[in-house]
Structure 1
Amino acid sequence: MARTDRPRLTVRSPADLIAAVPYLLGFHPADSVVVVAMRGRRIIFAARADLPGPGDDPLDPATHLAGVIARQGAESATVLGYGDASRVTPAVDAVRGSLAAAELTVLDALRVTDGRYWSYLCDEPACCPPEGTPYDTGASEVSAAAVFAGQVALPDRAALTTQVAPFGGPARVAMGRAVDRAERRLAAMLVGAPEADLLGGRTLRRAGVDAVRAALRRCRRGERLTDDEVAWLTLLLTHLPVRDHAWERTDGRERDLALWTDVLRRAERDLIAAPGSLLAFAAWRAGQGALAAVALERVLEAHPDYSLALLLDDLLRRGVPPSQLDGWPTTGPPGVLRRRSRRA
């Protein structure tokens, strides 16, 4: 799911919309049902779900998608199904019904495959021939405008997953050694903590705050953290006050996305929960819901009970817009918020 707080793309036809969808999602969908929501004449949101498999009830994803779209304050929507008619048609029909039940106008419903599209709402051969209407996204002005604006559409969702995948080979071996050094450093630091510092909590937090601030400074200068800095930072982020300090200083800025993507990919598996959740939060704030989702998948596969990841996963699944929680977490948990302006 993705907010569309990005450079405007002018859509004048079904072919233009098909060309725009990969840039709204961040990747080219396949075997998917996509709903593009509108308020007035403006696209405000795009949501995607896998096509139901054999034996799956198409009403389940349809009801979920309609609920997400309705929560955006949308007035109308277009449904696009990508794949064979035998799988797409029941999914699109279910989504159309769920949108209508949510009192949303369905502007069009399309099936897209092999360079052609078919409309479920138009049977006029002059504009919607039975053999489908050919389209060429490469020749679309929408694609050209998106590329010119710096927007990227990856080949598929797997390519997006690769962007948060762990590094392997010598880089992984080097990071393992760096974590060993960081663990020895942490043990020595706690042994040397003042007696009044119960369990070394204040010492840990002070070291963590220093590590987070140093990482943010390095990122602002366009510098990459060393292995030892990543190992030390990820080890300290397991201390929740340190994680929360980093969370309060994370937003949807490019440097936040760059920092936490790099740290997540280099972190040891046991230490990915905090950086992966921080990346997901930054991506959600930036309107990059698909990136947030794949980051959370990595975290929850390794740490299924990590509370921040579960909370963010719930926000994504319910389609909560970042604007509803401006200032979070500084202002408190959802439901106890005081609005403040989003940081630049």
Structure 2
Amino acid sequence: MSTAPERADAITLRKLADVVALVPYLLGFHPQRSLVALTIEDAAVRGTVRLDLTQDPAEMAERVGHLVDVLSRNRIHRALLIGYGSGAEVTPMVDVATEALRAAGIGISEAIRVDEGRYWSYVCTDVTCCPPEGTRVDLTSSVPAAAAVLAGMCALPDRAALAATLDPPQQLDQDRVQDITREVCAQAKQRSKEGVRWFWDGANRITAALEQVQAGEDLDVETAIRIGVHLTAKPVRDMAMTYVPRYGAETHVRLWTEVTRKVHPTFATAPATLLAFAAMCWGNGALAGIALERALSISPHNTLALLLSEGLMAGLHPSHMFACDWNGVADDLVARIRLCPSAAWPLLPEGW
């Protein structure tokens, strides 16, 4: 379950059309052929879960079961369901979800279908407020949409467009990226036995980059590549996670998005995983999912990426991410490196 970002707290929802207009900004993209479950408290959305629609009964039961499990784990007692697509696509899954949620003791505040700028209620039968032709909703210039834009939120056309935000910049010279990467890897091999110095060099590069991004500056390609190579040492990657409370999840999201886009693809696993971690801390489950897909497409057995995927699927709340004693984790990492410097040696991908 994605937790609504704090930026959305100031957006007041006065009617159902406001909710429909805000959802794309909460997800980061306009959903298509989807079922979205929302939790709403005090006229504000607190959390979202999005599922792909399916017509296969077994897949439908599995996805709805996951929805029930996530809401139950998070002690959600009421939900609002929004299906996106035609009636033939949406209605079967809304019916199954409604029955399963009610059986689990989770009430349905409202269930609607959205398609081509209109919504239809599955609950309301009053034609004066829910006409047969549907209720038109302004998805772009409504008050909630405008407030979301002012709060720095965006809604891309679809999930594919969100995934494309992690692709290399069009102007990036891939030959130059490869040349710099080979040069940095050669230097890393020469220093491969400098466990303690390699660890601190990587940690210092990351904090410097976080301060640079926090100041509104972009990273140059060489800086991103050097960080990417340093992250092949797992303690360096893990140390980066301990900096989230200090610099804030949003700054980390911006940094690791940049590094993921600018490194050679074979080095993108670690920064994409760190991006997923930061996005989960930020309450952006959609971005976290995209980042984990990118990381696991490169390294399918990466332990941290797999653990974060399980946490994301289970609806791990951002508060749980910050509940850890990150200062203690950092101290343990430093003690481990001092005791066993080889633990911080760079582990370069094959061929580099």
Q: CA deviation at 1:22?
A: 1.0
The separation in 1 between residues aligned to 2:325 and 2:171, in whole angstroms, is 37
Match for 1:282 among 278, 283, 296?
Answer: 278
Map of 1:148-297 to 2, 5 A cutoff?
148-167=150-169, 170-190=172-192, 199-251=193-245, 252-297=248-293
Q: Tell me: CA distance 1:200–1:158, structure 2 relative to 1, closer, same or farther (3 Å).
A: same
Deviates more, 1:138-147 or 1:300-309: 138-147
Deviates more, 1:29-38 or 1:60-69: 60-69
The TM-score, its normalising length taken from structure 2, stands at 0.85
Partner of 2:129: 127
Aligned residue for 2:126, secondary structure, equals coil
Q: Which amino acid aligns with 1:83?
A: G
Q: CA deviation at 1:121?
A: 1.3
The TM-score, its normalising length taken from structure 1, stands at 0.87
The separation in 1 between residues aligned to 2:273 and 2:264, in whole angstroms, is 15
* 1:18-45 Cα deviation digits (max 9, x unpaired): 1111122121111000001134654211
Map of 1:53-72 to 2, 5 A cutoff?
53-54=55-56, 56-72=58-74
Q: CA deviation at 1:125?
A: 2.2
* 1:109-143 Cα deviation digits (max 9, x unpaired): 11111122111112222222222222223352222
CA contact (8 A) 1:32 1:49 kept: yes
Match for 1:313 among 286, 309, 312?
Answer: 309
Aligned residue for 2:130, secondary structure, equals coil
Q: Which amino acid aligns with 1:6?
A: R
Partner of 1:324: 320
Q: Tell me: CA distance 1:329–1:227, structure 2 relative to 1, closer, same or farther (3 Å).
A: farther
* 1:222-248 Cα deviation digits (max 9, x unpaired): 333333222221111111111111111
Deviates more, 1:6-15 or 1:96-105: 6-15
Q: CA deviation at 1:203?
A: 3.4
Q: Does 1:109 align with 2:105?
A: no
* 1:189-216 Cα deviation digits (max 9, x unpaired): 23xxxxxxxx432232233223223323
Q: Tell me: CA distance 1:140–1:331, structure 2 relative to 1, closer, same or farther (3 Å).
A: same
**Structure holding more helix per residue:** 2
Q: Which amino acid aligns with 1:310?
A: L
Q: Tell me: CA distance 1:137–1:215, structure 2 relative to 1, closer, same or farther (3 Å).
A: closer
Partner of 1:93: 95
Deviates more, 1:289-298 or 1:219-228: 219-228
CA contact (8 A) 1:208 1:237 kept: yes
Partner of 2:38: 36
Q: Does 1:302 align with 2:305?
A: no
Q: CA deviation at 1:327?
A: 4.1
CA contact (8 A) 1:161 1:294 kept: yes
Aligned residue for 1:118, secondary structure, equals strand
The separation in 2 between residues aligned to 1:201 and 1:139, in whole angstroms, is 55
Equivalenced residues, count: 325
Q: Which amino acid aligns with 2:326?
A: T
Aligned residue for 1:131, secondary structure, equals coil
Q: Tell me: CA distance 1:73–1:41, structure 2 relative to 1, closer, same or farther (3 Å).
A: farther
The separation in 1 between residues aligned to 2:182 and 2:328, in whole angstroms, is 36
Q: Which amino acid aligns with 2:313?
A: R
Aligned residue for 2:191, secondary structure, equals helix
Deviates more, 1:66-75 or 1:155-164: 66-75
CA contact (8 A) 1:22 1:153 kept: yes
Moved over 6 A (4+): none
Q: How big is the alpha-carbon RMSD for the aligned residues of Structure 1 and Structure 2?
A: 2.1
CA contact (8 A) 1:38 1:75 kept: no
Q: Which amino acid aligns with 1:3?
A: T
Unaligned stretches of 5+ residues in structure 2: 330-352
Unaligned stretches of 5+ residues in structure 1: 191-198, 334-344
Map of 1:46-57 to 2, 5 A cutoff?
46-54=48-56, 56-57=58-59
Aligned residue for 1:108, secondary structure, equals strand
